[in-house]
Structure 1
Amino acid sequence: MKIVIINYGAGNIQSIKFAIKRLGFDAVLSSDSSEIRNADKVIFPGVGEASSAMKMLLNSGLDKVIPTLKQPVLGICLGMQLMCNSSEEGNTTGLGIFDVDVVKFDNTVKVPQIGWNKIENLKSSLFTDVPEDYIYLVHSFYAPLCKETIAQCSYGINYSAALKKDNFYGTQFHPEKSSNVGEKILENFLKM
C-alpha cells in the first residue's frame, strides 16, 4: 500500500510519519501531484495559519489536485479546515470539499483550545471500535456542526471534531498525538 503525506510546507509531517510507522506501514512525503494521485491513501496535514498554508497550496498547484482525488484522503487539523469552504483565519477561501465555513471561537472560551477533549457522537467507519474518549487538539478556529459532521467535541459550544464527504475525511484533532484512540483512528483510515 502506498501512503503519501502531502508535504506543502505547513505540516506536522514527521509525527504523522512516525505514527504510521508504529502501525507497521511506511509513508512517503511528497508534493508531486502525480505521486499523490497514484497513492492508495493520502494524508493532508496542517499546522499554522490558514491564509499562509493556502498560499503554499496555490503556489504548488495542489489546490487543484486535492479536491479531485478519488482514494481515501484524511485532512488533519488545519488540513481539515482548508478542505472547508472558507476560514475566518486570514479571510481564507478553502478547497470547498466540506460545505461548512470555519469560524473563530468567541471570547467566552480561552483560545487556543490546547489539550485533551472528549470526542462524541461518532459516525462512520473511521471510528470502528473507537470509544468516545479523549483526543488531543490545538486550535482557535473550528468547523460548526453540519451535515458532514461525523464526530463532535464541546468547548463552549458543540463543534465538528471530524467531517466526512465521499472519500474525504477530516479530523480537527491530531490522531498522531492522541494515544491509543488516535492510533486506532489512523489504523481504520489506513485499512479503508
Structure 2
Amino acid sequence: MTLAILDLGYGNVESVRLGFARLGADPQLVRDVAAVEAADRLVVPGVGHAGYAMQRLADHGLVDAIRERTRPTLGICVGMQLLFEASEEADAPLLAILPGTVTALEAAPSRPVPHMGWSRVETHGDIGLQDGDHLYFAHSFACPDGPATAARTTYGRPIPAAVRQGNFWGAQFHPERSSAPGANYLKAFLAS
C-alpha cells in the first residue's frame, strides 16, 4: 500500500509523517499529480491559511487530482477545511467535495480563539474513535456541522471534529498529536 502525504511547503507535514511512521507505515512526501493519482492513501495536511493552501494546490495542478480521487483521502485541520465549498478565511473557492462554508470561531471570555487544547468528542461513524475520547485541537475556523460529520465536539457551537463521506475523511483535530485515540483514527484510515 502506498501512503502519500502532500508536501507543498506549508503545514504540519513532518508531524503527520511521524504519526504514521509510529504505526509502522512508510509515508512518501509528494507534490505532483502522478504521485497523488497513484497513491493508495493520500493525506492533505494542514496548519496555516486556507487561501494559501488552495493556492499551493493550484500551483501544483492538484485541485482536480484531489477532487477526482476514488481512494481513501484524509484532510487534517486546514486539509479538512479544504474539503468544503468555501471559507471565510479564503478569497477563492475550496475543493467543494462537501457542501458548506467554513466560518470563524467566535471568542468569548471563557472560550479564546484559537481553540487550542484537548476537547472531548462524541462519535457518529466507524472511524476508530470512541465517545468520550479527548483529542487535540488547534484552529480558529470550523467546518459546518452536517450529514458528513462523523465526530463532534462543542466550542461555543457544535463543531465537526471529523467528517467522512465516501472515500474522503477529514479531521479538524490533530490525530498525530492526540495520543492513543489519534493513533486509532489513523489506523482506521489506513485500514479503510
Task: State the TM-score, normalized to the length of structure 2.
Answer: 0.94
Contact 2:50–2:82, Cα closer than 8 Å, also in 1 = yes
Instruction: Give 2:112's match in structure 1, choosing from 110, 113, 123.
Output: 110
Gaps of 5+ in 2: none
**CA–CA separation in structure 2 for the residues paired with 1:79 and 1:85:** 13
> Which structure's residues are more often helix, by fraction?
1
**CA–CA separation in structure 1 for the residues paired with 2:66 and 2:10:** 15
What's the CA shift string for 1:8-36, capped at 9, x where partnerless? 22231111111111111100000121111
Q: What percentage of aligned pairs have identical amino acids?
A: 37
Contact 1:50–1:92, Cα closer than 8 Å, also in 2 = no
What's the CA shift string for 1:136-156, capped at 9, x where partnerless? 010010012111111101111
Residue 60 of structure 2 corresponds to 60
Residue 45 in 1 paired to residue 58 in 2? no
SS of the aligned residue for 1:126 comes to coil
RMSD of aligned alpha carbons = 1.2
Residue 81 of structure 1 corresponds to 81
Count the aligned residue pairs: 190
Displacement of 1:73: 0.5
Displacement of 1:46: 1.1
What's the CA shift string for 1:74-94, capped at 9, x where partnerless? 100000001111110133411
Contact 1:36–1:42, Cα closer than 8 Å, also in 2 = yes
SS of the aligned residue for 1:98 comes to coil
**CA–CA separation in structure 2 for the residues paired with 1:33 and 1:137:** 30
Residue 22 of structure 2 corresponds to 22
Displacement of 1:127: 2.5
Structure 1 stretches (4+) deviating beyond 6 angstroms? none
SS of the aligned residue for 2:81 comes to helix
**CA–CA separation in structure 2 for the residues paired with 1:159 and 1:44:** 20
Q: Aligned AA for 2:48?
A: G
Q: Aligned AA for 2:33?
A: S
SS of the aligned residue for 1:90 comes to coil
Contact 2:128–2:187, Cα closer than 8 Å, also in 1 = no
**CA–CA separation in structure 2 for the residues paired with 1:166 and 1:51:** 25
SS of the aligned residue for 2:10 comes to coil
Residue 126 in 1 paired to residue 131 in 2? no
Residue 188 of structure 2 corresponds to 188
> Which structure's residues are more often strand, by fraction?
1
